[in-house]
Chain A
Amino acid sequence: MSFFSRRRTRPPTNGGSVGEPTASRVGFESRRTPDASDRLTTLASTVYVVAEAKVLYVQVFKAACSTMLWSLAQMAGKGPEDLAFSTDLHVARELTIHDLSIHPVPTIDRVSPELRHEALTSPEWMRLGIVRDPYSRLYSGWESRRLLLHDGPWTDYPQPDLVVVDGQLDLGTSFRAFVESMMEHRWVWQGDYHFAQQIYQLALDQIDFTDIATTSDLPRVFRSLSERSGRLVDPGRHNEGLGIKAEDVFDDVTAQRCEELYDQDFLQIGFPKRSFATPPPMVLDQVATRALGMIKERNDRITDLSTAIRAWN
């Protein structure tokens, strides 16, 4: 049963544009939630509360979350130059927005009980989640964590080596081998936010969302957030990756694996399943492959410097 059909037992009351799980539209906006309740028991540190604009945002990893965190900062009237320095292990300045200790918007575990209650229940609040097509999100998770070698717990998870032939990284083959291996060890991989199903990160059963938008709906979301905050919310794109599309790397077998790994995202959020033709080889040229090696070296150096700074604290 999808989230949407389940919700039909408590239908939207505003006649708003609640989305049906069709190929053309996933999610909904301005959904009325007159019987919203305060029952959130998980996810405290990934739920942001912008009191002034009456917006609650639930972070879903690999679904424009860096962009959304910058949006929240803009709603609070803060830009990159206003943020404190982060000593956390982030590999780029723009990713330091993930450091909770410097983000200008508090998470729900840090606000008063009254504000928490209001944010979770008031009909005047926007309760927002951004979701992403599971095929694209799985590729993006692999690219950012494995291919670009961000340091983190996943470096120790079971995984195949990257496939390099004549100094060129065979990105398509490497990704498909990874998905095969992830399937075997899904309990390890999906214990990590970047690879977990989105419905669990949204706490879909614990938050009465007014808006669930896909990443392709972001311009509309920014207009809404601008109106609510009275400030221009135009964060630009962040954490974009190599520009590879799902169609470039998925074949039908890998797609079926993805559908199994993310079955609840397809079922409850309503993403349509797609078929994929066998893609032509997706191979990075030698320059890009070399540059990836250089990225790895810099990630290591960032780890060293960040660790040294934190040892001072």
Chain B
Amino acid sequence: MPAEAGADRLISIQSNVHVVESARLLYVRVPKAACSTMLWTMALMAGVGSDELAFSDGHYPTRPMTIHDASIHPVPTIDLVSPDLRHEALTSPEWMRVAITRDPYARLYSAWESRILFASPGPWTGFPQPAIISVDGNIDVATSFQAFVETMEEHLGIWQADPHFAQQAYVMALDEIDFTDIVPTSKLGELFDRLSDRVGKPLHPQRHNEGLGLAYRDAFDEATARRCEAMFALDFDRLGYEHQDLSSGSGLRLSGPASRTVAMLQDRNRRIGDLSERLRQRA
């Protein structure tokens, strides 16, 4: 997409918009769309590696995930930069204004897996949701996910107020930012090549927050696919994602050891929530 001048009309999501002045890059964070990887990429662009990041007391479940803590990220968000820089970042034809988007089916499954199945600490633990379903000690991922999506649709206003479950078109403020690049997660490699050229050094960010490696297609059935399409209608419509035939999902049931390991993950995430909360109270 050729660079064009943009307009300075951003009024929302400012704390999700990062400004890498040296590279003239504005990145709009879309949760569950390679955002951890992109946050690390920006840190690398700013010359900060994982060893140099300050400690975060937030409820992030892993060290790499603390990159989400805006208070320690080396690249400022747009609400923290000067009015002149903000204006330049939003309007200059020399700036790259980027967002990464993800197939809505895969993104919804990923959000459920990382937030709900793993019991990650966060406000969603208090949202209405069905229990995880196990059969003979084996977690039935597909049935649990499908039950969740049905409940999510019933309580859409609650769930989609959270950016992990919100439509991407809203999270990226599609109507308020003149993007130069909207890149699907499948094209991240090409984006990194271009960003490397832009900063004059190779950028090889690790992948983060990868999950269990399950195929999202197997977690869907036809009814769940239709619900996803209804809840994320704008993403399909405005970002160009195609509806898929997901009626032949083979189902997903974890083995006994895998189920038990996931239960241990849940235990650890709850403990992380406890420790983080206590630490923040003291701070």
Are A287 and B213 in contact (CB-based, < 8 A)? yes
Knowing A242-B257, A243-B260, A291-B262, say if A301 contacts B62 (CB, 8 Å).
yes
Distance in Å: Cβ of B217 to nearest Cβ of chain A = 16
- Residue B151 CB within 8 A of the other chain: no
A87 partner, pick from B62, B118, B257, B278, beta carbons under 8 A: B278
Does A183 belong to the interface (CB within 8 Å)?
Answer: no
- B258 contacts which chain A residues (CB < 8 A)? 284-285, 287-288, 291
Given A297-B62, A301-B61, A305-B275, A291:B55 Cβ within 8 A: no
The residue on A at minimum CB distance from B211 is A290
CA distance A91 to B272 in the complex (A): 8
A304 at the binding interface (Cβ < 8 Å): yes
When the two chains form their complex, are residues B213 and A298 in contact, meaning their CB atoms are under 8 A apart?
no
Question: In the complex, how many angstroms separate the beta carbon of A243 from the nearest chain B beta carbon?
Answer: 5
Most buried by B among A304, A305, A309: A305
Q: Is the CB of B257 within 8 A of A298?
A: no
Within the complex, the shortest CB–CB distance from B246 to chain A, in Å, comes to 20
Question: Separation in Å of the A134 CB from the closest CB of chain B?
Answer: 23
Q: Which residues of B contact A87 (CB under 8 A)?
A: 275, 278
Contact with A along B202-220 (1 / 0, CB 8 A): 0000000011111000000
CB of A153 closer than 8 Å to a CB of B: no
Question: A298 with B269: in contact, given A285-B258, A287-B213 (CB under 8 Å)?
Answer: yes
Out of B268, B275, B282, name the residue touching A295 (CB < 8 Å): B268
Least distance between B260 CB and chain A CB atoms (Å): 5
A90 at the interface (CB under 8 A from B): yes
Asked if B76 CB lies within 8 Å of chain A CBs, one says no
Q: Is the CB of B271 within 8 A of A92?
A: yes
B265 and A93: CB pair below 8 A?
Answer: no
A241 to B268, CA, bound (A): 13
Alpha-carbon separation in the docked complex, A90 to B57 (Å)? 17
Residues of A within 8 A of B64 (CB): 297
Across the interface, do A305 and B63 meet the contact criterion of CB distance under 8 Å?
no
- A285-313 vs B, CB cutoff 8 Å, 1 = contact: the mask equals 11110111011011111101110110010
Query: Given contacts A297-B61, A297-B64, A305-B272, is CB(A93)–CB(B279) below 8 Å?
Result: no
Q: Does B130 contact A (CB under 8 A)?
A: no
Given contacts A300-B63, A309-B278, A309-B282, contact A92 B268 (CB under 8 A): yes
Q: In the assembly, what is the distance between CA of A312 and CA of B282, in Å?
A: 8
- Contact residues in B for A241 (Cβ distance below 8 Å): 260
A 240-269 contacts with B by CB, 8 A: 240-244
Residues of chain B within 8 A of A304, CB atoms compared: 55, 63
State whether A286 touches B213 (Cβ < 8 A).
yes
B49 at the A interface (CB under 8 A): no
**In the complex, A193 has a CB within 8 A of chain B:** no
Q: How many Å from the CB of B252 to the closest CB on chain A?
A: 9
Which residues of A sit under 8 angstroms from B210, Cβ to Cβ?
290
Is B274 close to A, CB under 8 A? Answer: yes
B267 at interface (Cβ–Cβ under 8 A)? yes
Interface-central residue, A91, A286, A300, A304, by most chain B CB under 10 Å: A304
Cross-chain contact A93 with B270 (CB below 8 angstroms): yes
Contacts of A297 in B (CB 8 A): 61-64
In the bound complex, residues from chain B placing their C-beta under 8 Å from that of A287 are: 212-214, 254-255, 258
- Does B5 interact with chain A (Cβ within 8 Å)? no
With the chains together, A244 CA to B55 CA distance in Å? 37
Judged by a CB distance under 8 angstroms, whether A203 is at the interface is: no
Contact A240 B213 (CB under 8 A): no
* Interface members, chain B 195-234 (any A CB < 8 Å): 210-214
- B128 contact set on A, CB distance < 8 A: none
User: Residue-by-residue, is A86-103 near B (CB-CB < 8 Å gives 1, otherwise 0)?
Assistant: 010011111000000000
The answer to the question of A51 belonging to the interface, with a C-beta cut-off of 8 Å to chain B, is no
Residues of chain B within 8 A (CB-CB) of A148 are 264
B134 at the interface (CB under 8 A from A): no
Q: Are A91 and B274 in contact (CB under 8 A)?
A: no
Task: Give the residue of A94, A244, A295 whose beta carbon is less than 8 angstroms from that of B265.
Answer: A295
- B256: A residues at CB distance < 8 A: 242-243
Query: Would B268 and A299 count as touching, CB distance under 8 A?
Result: yes
Contact B279–A91 (Cβ < 8 Å): no
A157 close to chain B: CB less than 8 A: no
Query: Which of B55, B118, B279 lies at the interface centre, i.e. has the most chain A CB atoms within 10 A of its CB?
Result: B279
Q: A291-B265, A309-B279, A309-B282 are in contact. List 4 more A-B contacts (CB 8 A).
A: A288-B257, A297-B63, A298-B61, A302-B272
Could you pull out 5 A-B pairs where Cβ atoms are within 8 angstroms? A85-B274, A92-B268, A292-B261, A294-B118, A302-B275
**Interface positions of A (Cβ within 8 A of B):** 85, 87, 90-94, 148, 240-244, 284-288, 290-292, 294-295, 297-302, 304-306, 308-309, 312
Q: Please give me the 3 A-B residue pairs with the lowest Cβ-Cβ distance, nearest first.
A: A92-B267, A288-B258, A291-B261
